[in-house]
Structure 1
Amino acid sequence: MRNLGRSFTFLWSSTALSSLADGMLKVGAPLLAVTLTRSPTEVSLVGAAATLPWLLLALPAGAIADRADRRRIIVLANTARAGLLAGAAALAALGLLNLWLMLVALLLACVAEVFADTSAQSVLPMTVSPDHLTTANGRVVGAQTIGNEFAGAPLAGLLVMLLPAAVFGGPALLYGAAGLLLLGMRGRFRPVPATARGSMGADIAESLRYLWSHRFLRTLAFTAGTLNLASAAYFAVFVLWVVGDGSRMGLEPSGYGLMMTAMAAGAVAGSLVSERVTRLAGEGRTLIGMWLTNSLLYLVPVLLPTGWLLFPTAVLWGATSALSNVLVISTRQRLIPPELLGRVNSAYRLIGMGGMPVGAALGGVVGESAGLPAVFLGAMGLCLISIAFLWRVVRHQISVPLTSDPLVPGTSRSR
């Protein structure tokens, strides 16, 4: 990483540690919930608690990221997460942690996550040159994937059976270390010009106007939002399909963790080849192809609920997700002006991720009333409809690199 600079190395290292903590929580929290209840509605509340802060706080987090030192925001957010989860670990060790206390701890930790992740995406372009954004984002996505699934997922699966308190205690230590690493970054990480001259409401309104007037980014945001809503519904109850004696696959918690590891293997591969694939196929065609493949794979565990097929499916889920994530993040960072990056990123992610708690809750309700296959098939259908909409809107530009056609008002291609 020498060619990307010292500051990026510290940012990447911090991201790797916080991603490992994310992975432990991502897998450990639903597995703990399954030990407390088999109700699809109650289990789905874990996914809702993890994503609800994005719906409520994405816009304020973006406005703050464009006013304050972005590195400092990440440090404070990681410190807050460390303290909250240390408290949850203490309750678990004392045998006082129930489902509802766990949900509160997870919700508050994910409030801090909104501020940390928003500032992290906005600070990265301040550490590398525009020519290196795709490479840097590929490495960041790779680190996130390794932490989230490769290491965090199987570790969480083991800890749930051996030492449940460590599902929260381990992430608490990792978030604290991730915050300390950022102190090694050198440079200025406050946006220039800073936007503190106006009110926060005016800053947020400006970001919404910019996103709404940018035809491509607006369309991409709504498509991503629909895909994430469907994905949240699918995976909020997927653990019930896979884990336990009453499930269709009957895997142990450790098997679920290994499935996430398989997903990570695919994601790492996808992030490493993202630049090469997009050069060959074009960013537009690659994005549509990855989203379409990812959505069609939702059907596999429903029609063929066998463990041996679940793992290669997870590999493909990971590869297609990572490739599309690298493309979308790099495109936003190139198209959005630096002084607006935090706010417009947050406006985009409000649309892109704000529906996830709704999707998670909807998955629980539908699963309770109509059965889990109805959730899975409905999620796939919704994804296919949204991808078809994106293709219809941008099909004339989809054969060229997304970043070569800003599609801003006043240009010849803006329609």
Structure 2
Amino acid sequence: MSDARSATPAVPLRRNRDYNLWWSGAAASQTGSFMVTVAVPMLILTNSGSAGQAGLVTGASAVAKFVVAFPAGAVADRCSRRRLLLLSSLMQLAAVASILIAVASQHVRLVHLAAAALVEGAGYALHSATELPLLRKVVPEPQRRAALGREQGRKAAAQLTGPPLGGTLFSWVPWAPFLAASVSFLGVTTAALGIRAPLGPQRRRKEAAPPFFPEMLEGVRYIRRSAFMSYMLLWFALVNGAFAGLSFLLVVLCHDRGASASAVGTAQGVGSAGAVLGALASAWLTARLTHRQLLKLASWVLVIGSAAMAVPTLSPLPTGLAYGVSLFLTPAVNVSFTHHMVGTVPDALTGRVSMTMMTAARSLNWLFVIAVGLAAERWDPLVPLFTLSSLFLALACANHLRRVRTQR
């Protein structure tokens, strides 16, 4: 289990050119993605007022991420990861640019928005498949826990800045967030072209590639052999699915309470600040708490934060703050688990194992988003909100009943 940097002296992450180039490009791309997650539902809600339609389009992106993620892991283990980075950024750029043209020309169609969401979600999944394999190539092993903490910080920062920026731009001119997102997707293209280190995978010229579909299942077999990873697979699937519904429900709650597009984006930004603070604290938390302790604590915080979103308020900020409380400990759980995965999974299986976990983590996102949208439209947003809180409560109890050997 070696990488291209194993034999070279380690330099601080702040001076690691390849890592910082990739980190910056990925940060720009993810910020664009989060701008779109606010702009598209607001576009539909403004045009039709239908939470159900907004949920269907948002769910289309989740479906693409789910369907593409699993094979993308095998592709990342056998095809040029540099080319995959280029392809993923171009797919996202094309999808969002098409929405930009439709909004600017005032020819917005629900079918087109759903198709664009599918393409953008597929590009996002391809980019995600390269993340852990690439990190192993550009970051030495002693620095990987710190790098993983920075990854959580990057994603949280994108969640913090993307939604309010998308909402603010939408309130100015409806096509503006799609223009900004289109430009941001060029960040991954720049990173793919600028990174000097070989990103792999490397095969001998005469080595025949094994059959694709049997090879794709190796990640599943690896996870099934570990009770710890199998349990975490289920936990991530349910929690991420509920989070997808909760994030969408935050937009619906704020909209129903009379908030403007800019205020909705600000509420999501305030909520994402919880993830930013959690990412900053992740190194401190993972050094002092075992993974099992973090898992228990995070699950109870999810219950408290999601239930607090039901408190009626004239301002969207308290709702966003309650959402932020829910997010606070999840970066530490992610860092703890991913550090275990990077340190134990063979390099040749990294793409498949990581994307099998990611596929499971996103497997229910589309269902939760669509179900939350339809339930909020038929009854009241509080109905799906309390349903999600009940699910978090059940998971919190399960963590105390289920005894699985975990790692620090």
Instruction: Confirm or deny a common fold (TM above 0.5).
Output: yes
Between the aligned partners of 1:224 and 1:97, the Cα distance in structure 2 is 35
Does residue 115 of structure 2 align to residue 107 of structure 1? no
Paired residue for 1:76?
A: 87
Q: Which amino acid aligns with 2:309?
A: P
Residue type at the aligned position of 2:109: N
Q: How does 1:111-126 map to 2 (within 5 A)?
A: 111-126=122-137
Structure 1 residue 36 displacement after superposition? 1.9
* TM superposition shift of 1:385: 1.6
The range that moved more, 345-354 or 382-391, is 382-391
Structure 1 stretch displaced more, 287-296 or 198-207: 287-296
Partners of 2:51 and 2:102 lie apart in 1 by 25
1:413 aligned partner:
none
CA contact (8 A) 1:49 1:357 kept: yes
Task: Return closer, same or farther for 1:233/1:268 CA change in 2, 3 Å cut-off.
Answer: closer
What is the distance in 2 between the residues matched to 1:390 and 1:49? Answer: 31
Distance in 1 between residues matched to 2:223 and 2:297, nearest whole Å: 24
Q: Which residue of 1 aligns with 2:354?
A: 345
CA contact 1:15–1:140 (8 Å) conserved in 2: no
- Distance in 1 between residues matched to 2:100 and 2:82, nearest whole Å: 27
Amino acid at match of 2:151: V
The verdict on how the C-alpha distance between 1:394 and 1:72 changes in structure 2, with shifts beyond 3 A counting, is: farther
Please report how far the alpha carbon of residue 114 of structure 1 lies from its aligned counterpart in structure 2 after TM superposition: 0.7
1:283 to 1:370, Cα distance in 2 relative to 1, 3 A: same
Q: Which residue of 2 aligns with 1:412?
A: none
Distance 1:350 1:36, change over 3 A: same
| Aligned-residue offset at 1:192 | 5.0
Are 1:12 and 2:11 an aligned pair? no
215-224 vs 297-306, greater mean Cα deviation: 297-306
- 2:274 is matched with 266
Q: Distance in 2 between matches of 1:266 and 1:137?
A: 18
1:319 aligns with 2:319: no
Deviation sequence 1:385-404 (CA, Å, 0-9, x none): 23433443336x45xxx25x
Matched with 1:389 is 398
Structure 1 counterpart of 2:252, from 233, 240, 243:
240
RMSD of the TM alignment (CA)? Answer: 2.1
Q: Does 1:302 align with 2:310?
A: yes
1:311 Cα deviation from its structure 2 partner = 4.0
Contact 2:37 2:163 in 1 (8 A): yes
Which of 156, 160, 172 is residue 162 of structure 1 equivalent to?
Answer: 172
Which position in structure 2 is the counterpart of 1:359? 368
Corresponding residue of 1:378:
387
Q: Deviations over 1:366-407 (max 9, x none)?
A: 223342211011111112223433443336x45xxx25xxxx
Q: 1:216 aligns with which of 207, 228, 236?
A: 228
Shift in Å at residue 294 of structure 1? 2.2
SS at match of 2:217: helix
What is the CA–CA distance in structure 2 between the aligned matches of 1:134 and 1:279, rounded to whole Å? 10
Matched, 1:24 2:35: yes
- Cα 1:171–1:393 change in 2 (3 A) is same
Asked whether the 8 Å contact 1:67–1:196 carries over to 2, the reply is no
Aligned residue for 1:169, secondary structure, equals helix
Task: State whether residues 64 and 121 of structure 2, in contact with CA within 8 Å, keep that contact through their aligned partners in structure 1.
Answer: yes
Between the aligned residues of both structures, percent identity stands at: 21
Offset, 1:147: 2.2
Distance 1:149 1:141 in 2: 12
> Secondary structure of the equivalent of 2:107?
coil
Q: Which runs of 5+ in 2 are unaligned?
A: 1-9
User: 1:71 offset after TM fit, Å?
Assistant: 2.7
For residue 172 of structure 1, the aligned residue among 169, 172, 182 is 182
Partner residue of 1:206? 218
Instruction: Kindly provide the CA deviation profile for residues 32-64 of structure 1, in whole angstroms up to 9, marking residues without a partner as x.
Output: 121122223212113201210122122110110
Counterpart of 1:186, as a letter, is R
CA–CA distance in 2 between the matches of 1:322 and 1:177? 24
> How has the CA–CA distance of structure 1 residues 286 and 158 changed in structure 2, closer, same or farther, with 3 Å as cutoff?
same
- C-alpha change, 1:111 and 1:196, in structure 2 (3 Å) is farther
Q: CA deviation at 1:78?
A: 0.4
CA deviations on 1:185-214 (whole Å, 9 max, x unpaired) are 122211356896211111112211111111
Residue 410 of structure 1 corresponds to none
Indicate yes or no: 2:258 matched with 1:250. Answer: yes
User: How many positions carry a matched residue from both structures?
Assistant: 394
Whole-angstrom distance in 1 between the partners of 2:283 and 2:266: 28
Which secondary structure does the structure 1 equivalent of 2:301 belong to?
A: helix
Deviation at 1:228, TM superposition (A): 1.8
Pick closer, same or farther for the CA change 1:98–1:362 going to 2, 3 Å: same
Q: Check conservation: 1:22, 1:148, Cα contact below 8 A.
A: no
Tell me the residue number matched to 1:277: 285
C-alpha deviation, 1:112, in angstroms: 0.9
Write the letter of the residue equivalent to 2:294.
Answer: T
Measured in 2, the distance between the counterparts of 1:31 and 1:323 equals: 31
Q: Which of the residues 141, 144, 152 maps onto 2:155?
A: 144
Unaligned 5+ segments in structure 1 are 404-415
| Residue 131 (structure 1) aligned to one of 130, 134, 142 | 142
- Determine if contact 2:304/2:326 at 8 Å carries over to the other structure: no
Aligned-residue offset at 1:115: 0.4
Following TM superposition, by how much is the alpha carbon of 1:263 offset from its aligned partner in structure 2, in angstroms?
2.2
- Equivalent-residue separation in structure 2 for 1:391 and 1:335 (angstroms): 26
Q: Say if 2:297 is the partner of 1:289.
A: yes
> In 2 relative to 1, CA 37–2 (structure 1 residues): closer, same or farther, beyond 3 Å?
farther
